[in-house]
Structure 1
Amino acid sequence: MRLAKLPKFLTALTAVLAGAGAALAPTAAQAAPATCTTDAKLVPTCNVLWGGAAGGFTSTPRDLALKGWEKASGRTATIFHQYHKGNEVFPTKAEIAMTNDPANPRVLLENWKIAYGSTWAKVAQGQQDKRIDAFAARAKAYGKKFFLVLNHEPENDVIARKGSGWEAKDFAAMYRHTIERLRDQGVTNVVNVMAYMGNEKWMSQSWWADLYPGDDVVDWIGLDSYVSAEKGYYHYGTFADLLDRKPKKGGLGFYDWATTKHAGKPVMVAEWGAYHRVGKIADKSFVYDSVLAELQKRPAIKAIVHFDTKKDDQGDRDISIDSTPASLAAFQKLAADPIFDVEIN
């Protein structure tokens, strides 16, 4: 090659290489993963919502308990789970303040035992419409989207006796009536969750299928389920075990039932945790270490909400994340995973 032509050649070569580099270089969209947000039903476009309920069965205000749990775990709870009954006024001022914190955005998950002091059948018959309408007005005034569970874990409250007012079919009718009345009152910011216990005993009952009120009035299917970290004790196992409990007489496990019978519905683990008996210390690390692999295999799970307490309603189970240093370290590692990075829209 003549030296006189060398500058032109080098210029051309530089242009070719630059073009090839541009073709190979990732675009901005490719280089940076899309931000995960929530849609109209609070379903994340990607990843999984992270939530908590803390201070159960203690006198500690729930907002302060959750903040302490968040500090210990290392992550703000996107979902703040609370419990109410009857004519209690909610969202409360403290709950609203928790969702108005610009530095730590949260969304409410409100459990409401609407039939408190009444029965499911009476609610379905319209005898608690004043209670429903009062809540509807508060929900509209609140304005923000939030989750609502009507009478979580209804299996435990069923009285399978004709006319009791607490039959499984009464629960379904109560649920349907309440959601339809809220809609009639113009409530558009409530996202409802049907939350089961998913216990093998109840799933085997002849009335279990009668609890479900219908896909048209259920936005999310929820599960409240726990495992023991104490080998040999009741429900010993990993995160998979709390998702896959099957009816005693055989049949689909809970997760498979939800995704098969109600395909397309997002699944929320509305309460979960690992426990050991009070005074019987056990390392919970293996339970927390099992969570991510299960979430990756089960794309229908869009939210998990940990319930944290040193002593549960039965008085003998420690469901706290910090019962041992190793347990806390494992939980902190879980909480730090980017799979829980979701912005509330």
Structure 2
Amino acid sequence: MAALTATALGACGGPDPSPVPPPPSATTATSTPAAPPPTARACRTDALLVPACGVLWGASAGGFSAVPRDRALKAWEARTGRTATVFHTYHRGDDLFPSPSEIAMTRDRARPRVLLVNWRVDDGVTWAQVARGAVDDRIDRWARHVRRTYRQRFFLVVRHEPEADVDQGAGSGMTARDFALMYRHVIERVRADGVHNAITVLAYMGSEKWLAQPWWQDLYPGDAVVDWIGLDSYVSAEPGRYHYGGFADLLDRAPVTGGGGFYDWATTRHPNKPVMVAEWGVYHRVGRRVDKAPEFASVLPELRRRPAIKAIVYFDTDDDAFGDRDISVDSSASSLAAFRRLATSPLFDVTLNDP
């Protein structure tokens, strides 16, 4: 049994992990109170990477720059003062992953990490085509790569943030139901191919517009193929701007037609599933100087109020895909200082346990 402790920078790790057996059924995942752990050693992850206490701390750094993600993350960890226990990366189509650099990051004895990989497996085809087997060769080739090169547990997101690409038109191949069938087919194929170390995450956008759509519930592919429920959500630090608010606003966005927010939906409809904030960040317009400290200070109180949240993963970039949002934690000295204070919390002292 390999137990790797993910604490503040400079902590010691354990030995390299050994091969893992298939995890239990996804339906066994549980949500237990996320009280601060008495010690890092006592707060361990289970077979589905759910911490018994505390919250996994993670990041994707480098954003849309050309800097390799492993180098960007190491620099981000140095700035923020804590190892990102969850290392978030992105792949698409025929990519074979984990890559050598990703594998090296998760086998760093002094800085133990677990991968969170977004895979756009549907690259070049529709969701309906994937569900009918159009990319089975792609899936099988990737599965052979994983079986040959990587035995550690890792998080796998299949086609994150599907909402904006839903087309409910007849024959589009991109309906919400098509997405659910695609997701289920991919995971069932992966498992049939002998990949049992992939812990699945379904990552929603969770915005007001999409939550109100009559098809939104149809995106869910079933508890048997979903281990964690994920949310990608951001807030603005500029008063009066769209989505201005703190960490609670990020979690509680509700349908424009009324009703409960995303966190309430996840914990009510799927009470046995841990929740991952798979992408989060605080932004302001590029070129502005705005203090993000209040937003960063709002994180810990909300995590203590919401025990189903078992992981938060920051997306750091100083220039987003649209070229108008700075989501970096160090856009000002006061913002970075507040984020570093957040990073020191013992709530994030979690031991990665890979039996």
**1:165-314 alignment runs, 5 A limit:** 165-314=173-322
Identical-residue share of aligned pairs (%): 63
**Gap runs ≥5 in structure 1:** 1-30
CA distance in 1, matches of 2:41, 2:323: 45
- Count of residues paired in the alignment: 316
Aligned residues of 2:40 and 2:350 also touching (Cα < 8 A): no
CA distance in 2, matches of 1:32, 1:148: 28
Superposition RMSD on alpha carbons, in Å?
A: 1.2
State the TM-score, normalized to the length of structure 2: 0.87
Aligned residues of 1:276 and 1:282 also touching (Cα < 8 A): yes
2:71 maps to 1:64: yes
CA distance in 2, matches of 1:135, 1:184: 13
Tell me which residue corresponds to 1:342: 350
Of residues 105, 129, 143, the one that matches 2:136 is 129
Tell me which residue corresponds to 2:58: 51
Larger radius of gyration: 1
Of residues 316, 322, 337, the one that matches 2:324 is 316
- Compared with structure 1, are the counterparts of its residues 32 and 167 closer, same or farther at alpha carbon in structure 2 (3 Å cutoff)? closer
Shift of 1:264: 1.0
**Alignment-mate amino acid for residue 336 of structure 1:** T
Tell me which residue corresponds to 1:100: 107
Aligned residues of 2:80 and 2:340 also touching (Cα < 8 A): yes
2:176 maps to 1:148: no
CA distance in 1, matches of 2:110, 2:291: 33
CA distance in 2, matches of 1:97, 1:50: 19
Aligned residues of 1:292 and 1:334 also touching (Cα < 8 A): yes
Tell me which residue corresponds to 1:11: none
- Higher RCO (CA-CA < 8 Å; seq separation 6+): 2
CA distance in 2, matches of 1:140, 1:246: 41
2:93 maps to 1:86: yes
CA distance in 1, matches of 2:126, 2:272: 31
CA distance in 2, matches of 1:49, 1:129: 32
CA distance in 1, matches of 2:208, 2:310: 23
**Alignment-mate amino acid for residue 101 of structure 2:** A
CA distance in 2, matches of 1:193, 1:178: 13
Shift of 1:34: 5.5
CA distance in 1, matches of 2:124, 2:293: 41
Higher helix proportion: 1
Q: Tell me whether 88-97 or 219-228 shows the greater mean CA deviation.
A: 88-97
SS at match of 2:351: coil
CA deviation vs aligned residue, 1:61-83 (integer Å, no higher than 9, x gap): 11000001101100000000001
Tell me which residue corresponds to 1:116: 123
Shift of 1:251: 1.5
Shift of 1:32: 6.2
Aligned residues of 1:139 and 1:189 also touching (Cα < 8 A): no
Tell me which residue corresponds to 2:168: 160
- Compared with structure 1, are the counterparts of its residues 125 and 109 closer, same or farther at alpha carbon in structure 2 (3 Å cutoff)? same
